[in-house]
Chains A and B, each alone.
Chain A
Amino acid sequence: MNNGAHDKKCEIWAIGGGKGGTGKSFVTSSIGTHLASKGNKVVLIDADLGGANLHTLLGVSKPRNSLTDFFEKKASLNDIIVNCGMPDIGLVSGTLSSLDSENIKYAQKLKLFRQIKAIDTDYILIDLGAGSHNNTIDTFLLADKMIVVTLPEITALENMYHFIKNVFFRKLKIILSAHGLKDMIQDVWKNRDVHGIKHLKDVVEHLMGTSAHVRDIIENELASFKIYIILNQVRSGREVMIGSSVKSVCLKFLGFDAQYAGHIEYDESVLRCINKRLPFMLTHPFSHVAKEIIKLTENLKDGRQITVTADKYANRRL
């Protein structure tokens, strides 16, 4: 196994979002396919241990190896990367035979994270499961780019806000722990009535007010914390704007930076394609959906975001 240092920096992208069925696996496999077609080596990791199906989107019906081998048979992560018919794309399948995914031991989790970081490739894309379980959040925080996929639906947005709030708090907790302030956030939250705290931003403001030291730590964290938003299954020009609105709410109400990486329009042929286990990016390379995925992938690569304006989109039909 290659634990060594590689010259080229490998980027880890994690795709999460809280709610199930928003198209995380579709987006992950499509972004991966595009990156590979541009000459990058890509490894996709299905971290949705309870409901793995990334292999299906890549046209693999029964992966030879999966994370079961890693957790139960002590196989190394590099040895369980399976080929999935496309050159330069490797898959670590998340199909588990018996293991209870919620009960992965802490030491196993750390070992997995270590081995993920050591994979010798250009891009690692991690497809996360639904929910805001700590294991999911920690895997999300492993990434250089944290990406959420959401839909123009209130339930999806609710779950997404919940997810990114938890991610942000978990990150703050980890950072403060590293500075010997382990229980600070819990204490503040427990006594929130005393401090007059109602919202997430109040917690952050309260923490920052406690000392210059804590303030520095948090400001540093806020400056580097960034969430990338992908809006999937968009059906009208008006809905395109929702991505910009979500970005604004993150900035103004949650207090951290979010970037609108791009949107993908609703297209029935996506589902048809998935049911046939065909890779959409290769079978429909000239579709709007494929073009939008290419665009958002390039935006993610460069850390750019799209700017959409009401007058341009409001009355446009997709």
Chain B
Amino acid sequence: MPIEDYKKYFDALELSSDAQLSEVRNSYLHLKSLYSNDSIVTSAIAYELSEEKRHEILEQVEEAYAKLADFFTNKDADTAVSEKPSFVVDEELKQYMSGMQSFSGKMLKEIREKLGVNLKDMAVFTKIRKQYFEDIENERFSALPAEVYLRGYIMEYARYLSLDPEKVANDYIERYRTAR
């Protein structure tokens, strides 16, 4: 279903078509409780609110939420595919990388820049905050999270650049432990 067809569902939840999933969820919960229960907001205008009408609205709200939940599931899948990194590892870079003994933050940054990858895209794709990647590259060890989390972040970073995640993470964590 094209996005225009979802507009009526966003409308039913009183949202604009660029609303996020969290807004959809919040609005759904709010409207459901508003029209399922009596409150001063609805009692004050009870003469305009027939039971059928109320029921009809609740159904619309339920339907809209179900459709939009699907919409967001599909959307996430689509963007994940379209945003997959594509870059060419040329001979020069291959040589540069083969000369490496142990990965440091500075080296990771150099490789990334040579590949023409920016941190913002990487953060969107991996769903890891850009700040963490910056701290990893600059080896701001005190700002980095606990080791278990850090390890995960570095592996994601390496995977994105098609490097060996295990090797990169092991090298980096060793530097991290020594420094701390």
Find B31's partner among A198, A248, A254 (CB 8 Å cutoff): A248
Contacts of A153 in B (CB 8 A): 40
Determine whether the beta carbon of A154 is less than 8 Å from that of B43: yes
Task: Kindly list chain A residues whose C-beta atoms are within 8 Å of the C-beta of B48.
Answer: 161, 199-201, 253-254
Size category, B interface: 20 to 34
B30 touches A310 (CB 8 A): yes
Whether B40 and A248, one on each chain, are in contact in the complex, defined by CB atoms closer than 8 angstroms, is: no
Closest residue of chain B to A245, judged by CB?
B41
What is the interface of chain A mostly: helix, strand, loop, or mixed?
A: helix
B23, B30, B31, B53, most chain A CB atoms within 10 A: B30
User: CA–CA, A199 to B50, complex, Å?
Assistant: 9
- The 8 A CB mask of A216-246 against B (1 = contact, 0 = none) is 0000000000000000000000000110111
Produce 1/0 per residue, B25-69, CB < 8 A to A: 011011101100001111111001110010001000000000000
Q: Once A and B bind, how many residue pairs between them come within 8 Å at the CB atom?
A: 59
B166 close to chain A: CB less than 8 A: no
Set of chain B residues within 8 Å of A198, measured between Cβ atoms: 50
Nearest-CB distance from B36 to chain A (Å)?
12
On chain A, the number of residues with a Cβ less than 8 Å from chain B's Cβ atoms is 27
Check B164 for interface membership: any CB of A closer than 8 A.
no
A47 CA / B41 CA spacing, docked (Å): 28
Q: How far is the CB of B51 from chain A (nearest CB, A)?
A: 12
B contacts with A: majority SS: helix
In the complex, the answer to whether B49 meets A253 with C-beta atoms within 8 Å is yes
CA distance A152 to B57 in the complex (A): 23
A184-197 Cβ-contact flags toward B at 8 Å (1 or 0): 00000000000000
Q: How far is the CB of B61 from chain A (nearest CB, A)?
A: 9
A245 cross-chain contacts in B, Cβ below 8 A = 30, 34, 39, 41-42
Partner of A310, one of B29, B40, B43, B53: B29
Q: In the assembly, what is the distance between CA of A201 and CA of B27, in Å?
A: 23
Cβ of A251 under 8 Å from chain B: yes
In angstroms, Cα B123 to Cα A266, docked, is 43
User: Once bound together, how far apart are the Cα atoms of A251 and B14, in whole Å?
Assistant: 8
- Say yes or no: B44 contacts A154, CB within 8 Å: yes
Q: Is A252 an interface residue (CB 8 A)?
A: yes
0/1 interface trace, chain B 5-17, chain A, CB 8 Å (1 if under): 0000000001000
Nearest Cβ in chain A — how far from B165, in angstroms? Answer: 36
Residues of B contacting A247 with CB < 8 Å? 14
In the complex, residue of chain A having the shortest beta-carbon distance to the beta carbon of B27: A309
Q: Is A7 an interface residue (CB 8 A)?
A: no
15 A-B pairs besides A161-B48, A249-B42, A253-B48 with CB distance below 8 A are A154-B43, A157-B40, A157-B41, A157-B44, A158-B45, A161-B44, A161-B45, A199-B50, A201-B48, A241-B30, A245-B42, A247-B14, A248-B34, A249-B41, A253-B49
Could you list 27 examples of A-B contacts with CB < 8 Å? A152-B40, A153-B40, A157-B44, A157-B45, A161-B44, A161-B48, A198-B50, A199-B50, A199-B53, A241-B30, A242-B41, A244-B30, A245-B39, A245-B41, A247-B14, A248-B31, A249-B41, A251-B14, A252-B57, A253-B45, A253-B48, A253-B49, A309-B26, A309-B30, A310-B26, A311-B26, A311-B29
Closest 10 CB pairs of A and B: A157-B44, A309-B26, A245-B41, A154-B40, A158-B44, A161-B45, A199-B48, A245-B34, A253-B48, A154-B44
